[in-house]
């Protein structure tokens, strides 16, 4: 048998939390609050089918050809308008289309991180971003959060300790995994801290459009006067994740290099799908579609929170998301949520243990619950099953 000599980018230990999540979600018996999956019944299947047919009628030969790394101009023009609604003024030359925002995270990390470079992240944070940063050899410094997002006071302390820190990675809206949102004041403070220390900010915003309560908050990019913020978003949560379509907004100095990296990764993002999404947005009002999703998710989030408050033991804490897909739960005592997961999965209910989301030291008794992907009946039954397992463990 061959003994592969893997590079340092390949994880030494296999910790396939995502694989576990999808495995759990694919068993029809299991009520899964685990994945970050949108509600499939809200996918606009007929409209996407129609857009596909329109694209083939109008641009058949063009869409089947190779094209430029930056992406389809028509789609980038539409994204300029989406960004304007998010209070970011930009133009088509500063927008690149990527294969989901996951690719933007990967390529940006590849561009900015040398082995042992320090990067600052929310603690806990998106697990696939942790995997990417680790694969480039980053030293990841987790910054604790409270209900208003990342703690700026602690971030400042750590930045003073590591003044050459390369990047702050943040998910300001309805964060994965906590569902928390960075307050307006902290957004401004974060950007001015980055200016003070000469650090980049990677603003990852796949969920911001799915706001179902509270006030709209401008992105960090809108406060960026020194071109430090690299902004990412995606059609995964507002349309469909299987399309694998995201975008990156950055200044031209970054963009020139980014396109070289993009080219070496996959030449360009799937041309056909770019045209389909563009056509979908010509045929339909995507804002209306997002409104529909947001309303459905609000009902599910409200129901999940009501059931948690009613059924989980006293002393349990949870976030109160104003959008997105996740609720973060903290149990009292010293419960090991990895063990809880094992019991729950035997009882056909799944979540993601908090341990997956902490880059360094795990806080026990924490876990992420997804509310977008299950029906009301499944939410009620699933919380009952979890409550029983938690009581058993306590
Ligand atoms: C915070 C965050 N960033 C990026 C992604 C990747 O999204 P995409 O499907 O656009 O690659 C996800 C997916 O769940 C996410 O939660």
Number of domains forming the structure of the chain: 2
DSSP state of 394: -
Q: Specify if 1 maps to a domain.
A: no
Residue to substitute in 103, 132, 145, 206 for testing ligand 1 pocket (most ligand atoms within 8 angstroms of CB):
206
Residue to substitute in 99, 105, 106, 128 for testing ligand 1 pocket (most ligand atoms within 8 angstroms of CB):
128
Please give the distance, rounded to the nearest whole angstrom, from the Cα atom of residue 128 to the centre of ligand 1. 8
Which residue's structure tokens are 């360009």?
Answer: 268
Q: State the CATH number of the domain containing residue 348.
A: 3.90.1150.10
Same domain, 223 and 276: yes
Single residue among 283, 299, 317 that ends a domain in this structure: 283
Same domain, 98 and 110: yes
pLDDT at 21 over 90: no
Distance of CA 332 to the CA centre of its chain: 27
Same domain, 196 and 294: no
Same domain, 181 and 323: no
Give buried/exposed letters for 347-384 (b at 16+ CB in 10 A, else e): bbbbbbbbbbbbbeebebbbbbbbbbbbeeebbbbbbb
pLDDT, tens digit, 9 for 90 and up, residues 294-312: 999 999 999 999 999 999 9
Same domain, 292 and 279: no
Q: Report the mean per-residue pLDDT for the chain.
A: 95
Kindly report the protein residue whose alpha carbon is nearest to atom 6 of ligand 1: 102
pLDDT at 394: 82
d(CA 361, CA 129): 16
Q: Specify if 10 maps to a domain.
A: no
Q: Specify if 6 maps to a domain.
A: no
Instruction: Locate the ligand 1 atom nearest the alpha carbon of residue 126 and give its number.
Output: 1
Q: Specify if 335 maps to a domain.
A: yes
Angle of CA points 167, 173, 176, to nearest 5°: 75
- CA neighbor of 223 nearest in space, from 82, 121, 89: 89
pLDDT, tens digit, 9 for 90 and up, residues 29-73: 999 999 899 999 999 999 999 999 999 999 999 999 999 999 999
Same domain, 279 and 294: no
Please give the distance, rounded to the nearest whole angstrom, from the Cα atom of residue 115 to the centre of ligand 1. 24
pLDDT at 1 over 90: no
pLDDT at 3: 86
Give the mean pLDDT of 214-242.
97
Same domain, 51 and 181: yes
Radius of gyration for the chain, computed over Cα atoms and rounded to the nearest angstrom: 21
Say which residues have a Cβ less than 8 Å from residue 274's Cβ, sequence separation at least 6.
Answer: 71, 72, 75, 97, 245
Same domain, 265 and 129: yes
What percent of the chain lies above the pLDDT cut of 90? 89
Select the more confidently predicted residue: 315 or 157: 157
Residue 39: which domain range?
17-44+288-393
Residue to substitute in 231, 234, 323, 328 for testing ligand 1 pocket (most ligand atoms within 8 angstroms of CB):
234
pLDDT at 300: 98
pLDDT band (50, 70, 90) for residue 25: low
Same domain, 209 and 307: no
Give the mean pLDDT of 214-233.
96
Single residue among 255, 283, 311 that ends a domain in this structure: 283
Same domain, 267 and 356: no
Single residue among 237, 263, 283 that ends a domain in this structure: 283
Residues enclosing ligand 1, CB less than 6 A?
36, 100-102, 126, 171, 176, 204, 206, 234, 236, 241, 246
């Amino acid at each position: 048998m061959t003994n592969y000599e893997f590079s340092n980018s390949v994880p030494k230990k296999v910790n396939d939390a995502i694989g576990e999540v999808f495995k759990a979600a694919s068993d029809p018996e299991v009520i899964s609050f685990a994945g970050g999956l949108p509600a499939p019944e809200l996918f606009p299947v007929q409209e996407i089918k129609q857009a596909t047919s329109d694209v083939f009628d109008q641009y058949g030969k063009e869409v089947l050809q190779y094209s430029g790394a930056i992406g389809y101009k028509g789609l980038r023009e539409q994204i300029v308008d989406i960004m304007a609604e998010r209070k970011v003024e930009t133009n088509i030359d500063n927008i690149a289309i990527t294969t989901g925002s996951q690719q933007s995270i990967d390529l940006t990390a590849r561009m900015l991180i040398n082995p042992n470079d320090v990067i600052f992240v929310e603690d806990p944070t998106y697990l696939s971003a942790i995997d990417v940063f680790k694969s480039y050899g980053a030293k990841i410094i987790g910054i604790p959060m409270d209900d208003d997002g990342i703690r700026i006071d602690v971030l400042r302390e750590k930045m003073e300790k590591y003044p050459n820190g390369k990047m702050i990675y943040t998910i300001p809206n309805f964060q994965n995994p906590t569902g928390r949102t960075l307050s307006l004041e902290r957004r401004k403070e974060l950007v001015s801290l980055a200016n003070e220390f000469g650090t980049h900010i990677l603003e990852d915003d796949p969920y911001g459009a799915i706001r179902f309560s509270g006030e709209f908050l401008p992105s960090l990019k809108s406060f960026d006067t020194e071109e430090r913020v690299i902004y990412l978003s995606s059609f995964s949560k507002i349309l469909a994740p299987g399309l694998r379509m995201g975008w990156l907004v950055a200044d031209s100095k970054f963009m020139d290099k980014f396109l070289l990296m993009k080219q070496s990764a996959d030449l360009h993002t799937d041309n056909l799908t770019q045209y389909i999404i563009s056509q979908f947005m010509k045929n339909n009002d995507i804002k209306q579609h997002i409104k529909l999703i947001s309303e459905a998710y609000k009902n599910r989030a409200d129901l999940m929170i009501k059931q948690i408050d009613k059924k989980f033991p006293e002393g349990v804490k949870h976030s109160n998301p104003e959008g997105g897909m996740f609720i973060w739960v903290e149990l009292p005592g010293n419960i090991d949520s990895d063990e809880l997961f094992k019991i729950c999965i035997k009882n056909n209910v799944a979540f993601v243990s908090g341990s997956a989301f902490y880059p360094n030291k795990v806080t026990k008794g924490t876990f992420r619950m997804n509310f977008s992907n299950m029906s009301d009946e499944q939410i009620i039954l699933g919380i009952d099953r979890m409550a029983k397992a938690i009581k058993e463990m306590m």
